[in-house]
Amino acid sequence: MWKLNFFGISFFEIFYYFFIFSFFGWIYESLLVTIREKRWTNRGFLNGPIIPIYGCAATLLYITFFNDKTISLTECTNIRNVTIIFIAGMIVASVLEYVTSYVMEKLFHAKWWDYSDYPCNIQGRISLRSSLFWGLLSVIMAEFIAPYVTKHIIDKIPLRLGEYFGYAIFALFLADFYVTVKATLKLDQKLSNMAKLREELYEYAQGTKLYDLQEELKAKLNNSKAAEYVEMLRESVDRGYEAIQAKYKKENDEQAIQEKKALRMELERRMKEFSARYKEQKAEGLHELIHKRILRAFPNMKAVNREGVLKDYREKLRRKK
């Protein structure tokens, strides 16, 4: 398997290029977020020191520009060749970034990065700015980094030792991938459970007819923390309750007054029950550690239609720390 060739490039080279550039990508992203957040951050979806999107993009470009037919593009540096590498790298990496963002959002119901504030973006998944960066990085990789890595790292690895080491790396990668995906699915489930509790309380409050539902209020509630959520709901209900009580007092309908009062008291009980059950939603052990790392690694991550819930969960993990 290790001696298989793809367009004149051995599987051995492809394998190590993927992991080496995944590691380089992890160093770059981790340092960038660490400087921005002013604290050490292990960036990336996986727990280990790799970010596969960098490895995938670099490996695809390596296969494209260092095979038997196109090696001339990197051996001769001129405006034409650099432009071809820049445009190809920009397209390949941008498509990969868009697909990765889309798949991760569908799997975990969250946007892990968002370029919505950048000009010329597509659904916040990619932007002109990020694409230009990918193009520049591709030129640097093809002209400087890739030749150095080949000559001073990959060519220096003994084939037999490299094979055994490769099996170990791949086994660790698969284990990390499995554990991280499982924990992230648990995170998604946890957020879903918390959102469901909110929705159940909201629907019950609406069913009491103590106030009229407004779409603006619902959107506001979804983006607020739990304490704010309960308080806004209580205030809305109280306004409706007072209006209803005034109406029935005017009509001298004592039975209706007592019925609405009982409903209001039951709703208050439900709110307290909601708060208790909401606080019980937590992760434990390894999953909790992975959730902490992921939320720290992606400080701008957005949960689709569950922003308030994600804020609560972040706060819960911070307080526990």
Under 8 Å between Cβ of 271 and 201: yes
At 207-226, the pLDDT tens digits run: 887 766 566 677 777 788 89
| pLDDT of amino acid 233 | 85
Q: Rounded CA gap, 306 and 272, in Å?
A: 21
* 272 secondary structure, DSSP code: H
Stretches in the chain below the pLDDT threshold 70: 1, 211-216, 320-321
Q: Which contacts of 258-261 are long-range, i.e. CB under 8 A and separated by 24 or more positions?
A: 260/210
Cα gap 270→48, rounded to integer Å: 43
Cα–Cα distance, 112 to 225 (Å, whole number): 20
* Site of tokens 């939603």: 281
**What are the start-end ranges of the E strands in 11-119?**
110-111
Question: 206 with 218: CB under 8 angstroms?
Answer: no
pLDDT value at position 291?
Answer: 94
Residue for token pair 């020191």: 49
Q: Note the pTM of the prediction, 2 decimals.
A: 0.86
Number of Cα atoms under 13 Å in the Cβ half of residue 67? 13
CA distance 243 to 120: 49
What is the spatial distance between Cα 156 and Cα 150, in angstroms, rounded to a whole number? 8
Contact (Cβ atoms closer than 8 angstroms) between residue 14 and residue 25: no
pLDDT of residue 321: 57
Residues in CB range of 107: below 8 A, 6 or more apart = 185, 188
- pLDDT of 73 reads 78
Element (H, E) at 27: helix 11-37
Distances (CA, A) of 153 to 2, 121, 133, 161, 265: 17, 37, 26, 13, 71
Q: Where are the domains of the chain?
A: 5-157, 183-320
